[in-house]
Amino acid sequence: MAVKGAVMVPHPPVIIPEIGHGEEQKIRETSDSYRKAAAKIAGWKPETVVVISPHSVMYADYFHISPGTGAQGDFGQFRASQVKFQVDYDTEFVKVFAREAEARDIPAGTLGEREKRLDHGTMVPLYFLDRYMQDYRLVRVGLSGLPFTVHYELGECIRKTAELLERDVVIIGSGDLSHKLKEDGPYGFQKEGPEYDERIMDVMGRGAFGELFDFSEDFCDKAAECGHRSFTIMAGALDGLKVKTERLSHQGTFGVGYGICIYEVTGSDPQRYFLEQYRRAQREAAERRKASEDSYVQLARKTVETYVRTGKKLRVPEGLPEEMYSRRAGVFVSLKEEGRLRGCIGTIAPVRGSIAEEIIENGISAAAKDPRFHAVEPEELDRLEYSVDVLGETEKIDSPEKLDVKRYGVVVSRGYRRGLLLPDLEGVDTVEEQIEIARRKAGIPEDAEDIRLERFEVVRHF
């Protein structure tokens, strides 16, 4: 058997006695669980341990796999430089792993190393593991800003590599949970914090890895979680495998969530191909969505698909509602992929002869010219969700009290700078947040007081 098992663990430096100086006793349950997890790994006798760490090198659109023959590190940044580590990398595993990722068009490899030394997200798990075994080689993997599904697929590459090399492998998903559990914690409190911890411990405690895709990026951001992507890669390495799941502990003593679970592989299970199930459900949802799209969204979709596949701009078609030919208005076209924004471009006021023309121009820009994203690729088209916002006229207001984050969009201006934010956006819950985001988009300094506010309503087409 190639993948022997996996563990989900946190990485608080304070758990190391040489760092905690007694404070680690406050999370004794986590320490005891950590030792049990480390002993379990040693019992599996892996040849290679893959550590997935949020604190390794991270890029927005690339997974960094640590290169070279080995690395070292210590806890000097936590005033415990006497605690040192020296590891040998499994260079053959890294080579095949990177090749498997490339075969799936997953951007991953050994390029772009900025820091050769081991990070604490790697060293904390190794501190416990090394007390039980030391005869193993390491593979260290970082995270990316890509969707959760791509992280999961990278985990599938880990499993495939282990099988190709006939290597006994264990995966360590290193990551804390929410950092927003307590008002008196180092990061304060957010209601999404305890909500995230409860949900993730339920999902991971049941080994229900398909539910990892149901966490929205916005929810995870508000919870200030650390390990969701680590756990998702780890879960991908267990795809299609039957696992014995053991939830050991969860603590939030210091305002940060620490959860530990063990997953022992006991065979294969065709019911546990979670990514395949998720994508099938997504395709079915996409078909239902397409069937219910109105003329505005259908035009946006046809515009993007035509441009991405042929490079040509769609001509205004016949058979649209009369308003789309005769009315002029500002229009925003938004694209989402797996719940994440994939592009959004629009005009505050009309600049073309009709709403239809506005949709076509802004649809192309959203797909290919939004500077925040690379251009949409043909293979993404079936996964895209579209919305079209038709803007009403802007109205000057003299106070934020005249805004409603659900009903009105806002334009914040200062001199020639103008920033706009649409209404009723996921993750924007207050007028203050709405104004601040629009201000940042305009490049207006935070302390600027001579700003002007305008509001507008939209008709949103899904």
pLDDT digits (tens, 9 = 90+) for 293-342: 999 999 999 999 999 999 999 999 999 999 999 999 999 999 998 888 99
Q: Are residues 253 and 316 part of one domain?
A: no
Helices (H), 166-264: 192-206, 217-223, 228-237
Distance CA 442, CA 204 (A): 41
Q: Are residues 391 and 314 part of one domain?
A: yes
Angle (deg, nearest 10), helices 228-237 and 148-165: 40
Q: Are residues 360 and 243 part of one domain?
A: no
Q: Is 18 within a domain?
A: yes
User: pTM (2 decimals)?
Assistant: 0.87
| pLDDT of the chain, 462 residues: tens digit per residue | 699 999 999 999 999 999 999 999 999 999 999 999 999 999 999 999 999 999 999 999 999 999 999 999 999 999 999 999 999 999 999 999 999 999 999 999 999 998 899 999 999 999 999 999 999 999 999 999 999 999 999 999 999 999 999 999 999 999 999 999 999 988 999 999 999 999 999 999 999 999 999 999 889 999 999 999 999 999 999 999 999 999 999 999 999 999 999 999 999 999 999 999 999 998 898 899 899 999 999 999 999 999 999 999 999 999 999 999 999 999 999 999 888 899 999 999 999 999 999 999 999 999 999 999 999 999 899 889 999 999 999 999 999 999 999 999 999 999 999 999 999 988 898 999 999 999 999 999 988 888 999 999 999 998
Q: Is 281 within a domain?
A: no
Q: Are residues 251 and 116 part of one domain?
A: yes
Domain end residue (candidates: 245, 276, 307): 276
Q: Are residues 232 and 299 part of one domain?
A: no
Count CB neighbours of 277 within 10 A. Answer: 13
Q: Is 395 within a domain?
A: yes
Q: Are residues 271 and 296 part of one domain?
A: no
Q: Are residues 353 and 247 part of one domain?
A: no
Q: Are residues 121 and 27 part of one domain?
A: yes
Contact 3, 169 (CB under 8 A): yes
| 368: CATH | 3.30.700.20
**Which residue do the tokens 């924004």 mark?**
341
Q: Are residues 259 and 154 part of one domain?
A: yes
Q: Are residues 264 and 296 part of one domain?
A: no
Q: What is the side-by-side order of every strand in the sheet holding 331-337?
A: 340-346, 331-337, 384-391, 458-461
Pull the structure tokens for residue 6.
């996996």
Q: Is 103 within a domain?
A: yes
Q: Is 358 within a domain?
A: yes
- CB-based burial of residue 286 (10 Å sphere; 0-12 exposed, 13-18 middle, 19+ buried)? middle
DSSP calls for 299-365: HHHHHHHHHHHHS-PPPPPSS--HHHHH----EEEEEEETTEEEEEEE-SS--SSSHHHHHHHHHHH
Count of H helices and E strands in the chain? 13, 18
Total residue length of the chain:
462
Q: Are residues 295 and 203 part of one domain?
A: no
Give the model's pLDDT for residue 339.
82
Domain end residue (candidates: 276, 309, 343): 276
Q: Is 283 within a domain?
A: no
Pull the structure tokens for residue 394.
């802007």
Look at the chain and report how many structural domains it folds into: 2
Task: Provide the residue range defining the domain that includes 141.
Answer: 3-276
For 242-266, give one letter per residue: b (16+ CB within 10 A) or e. Answer: ebeebbbbbbbbbbbbbbbbbbbbe
Give the model's pLDDT for residue 1.
62
Give the model's pLDDT for residue 324.
97
Pull the structure tokens for residue 380.
């993404």
Strands 458-461 and 452-456: unpaired
| 79: CATH | 3.40.830.10
Q: Are residues 155 and 11 part of one domain?
A: yes
